[in-house]
Amino acid sequence: MKMETRRFLFLSVALCFWILLLQNADLATGKDPDYPSKPITYYISFGPGGTADLANRAFIEAAAKHLGKPFIPINRAGAGGSLAATAVLNAKPDGYTLGGTPAGIAFTLPFTEPAPYKDLSGFTFVANFGKLVYPLMVRADAPWETWNELIEWAKKNPKGIKVGITGAREVTVQGYTLLKIEKLENVKFTYMPLKSSAEALSATLGGHITLYGSTVDASTMPYLKERKVRILAFMGLKDEKIPGYENIPSTEELYGVSIPKALGVMGPKGLSENVLNRLDDGFAKAIEDPDFNKVMDRMCIPVVYMNRAKMNKHMDELYRQGAEFIKMLKAEETKGKN
């Protein structure tokens, strides 16, 4: 082999090796020019089949159309959402591990013991895509026709109302709202922690819980239409109701109390601008996707979009409200000991 040929081959191999090193270095630092170039793992902090699970799956399916790569959903329910949150928190910041963002990520988890994290600095909140609706429902044969009737019964029967919520009271947004109502009405509820809205609906229909305190979804609507369950109130603002049930009062109208809400996407701290810009573009298009909107309409979930800046501001506000909630719980605990 001639010297010139050997030199050419050597230089060619060296150039290929150098290009490979540069590509690997870019991927290691999150500078992935072709992002996404492989499937994205997506953690959902609720069990399969519930409202939040179905909404997250619909959104990432729509986003995949515009990003060009599929998402791999993984349900990691339990511990108030901390299992999924911790998986995202500890992930490599390359954009290939993301997760759903329930309100509890900011509202309660930073204050629990042992806390998976103490503040929100380890996360990047990328977008919000919806707003869950929380009806307070009872079985059709329950003795109460209105929310006020249930409250009057609860005053005479302390802890007699068994409320089914997705998670323990101390780590859920429902717990926060209902605790405020308990204090305002001077009543006491018993809380039954469940894994999903589907499980809460089943427990309500089976008579295992008195009051459904989770979200509404497509599986709920047939039971409402067939009058097997009825709504006594909505946890939320006066415009956060199911169409056709606008005459049912909200906790804002009754007490000036609303439930903290978030339904979005987060990643670990350190995502590159290239990754974030690609996600921004894909998520903004996903919001307009007709298939996604059909799913959200069917589940009675309003589509509410927030970009990165608005989402991070919103999560900071939920963190502030969460600190207030924990203060209330500690005061209640101290009062009980005394």
| pTM score | 0.76
**Domains of the chain, earliest start first:** 40-131+261-327 (3.40.190.150), 134-259 (3.40.190.10)
Contacts of 93 (CB under 8 A, 6+ apart): 30, 124, 267, 268, 269, 270, 271, 272
Minimal CA–CA distance to 95: which of 27, 45, 46?
A: 27
Q: How far apart are CA 262 and CA 314, in angstroms?
A: 8
What is residue 191's three-state secondary structure? Answer: strand
Q: What is the mean pLDDT of each run of 10 residues along the chain (338 residues)?
A: 54 50 47 89 88 92 97 87 92 97 88 84 96 94 97 97 85 85 95 86 95 84 92 91 91 92 95 96 96 91 92 94 82 67
| Neighbour count for residue 68 (Cβ, 10 Å) | 12
Which pLDDT score, from 0 to 100, does residue 206 have? 95
28: which 2 tokens? 């290691």
Which pLDDT score, from 0 to 100, does residue 175 have? 85
Which pLDDT score, from 0 to 100, does residue 243 have? 85
Contact 94, 41 (CB under 8 A): no
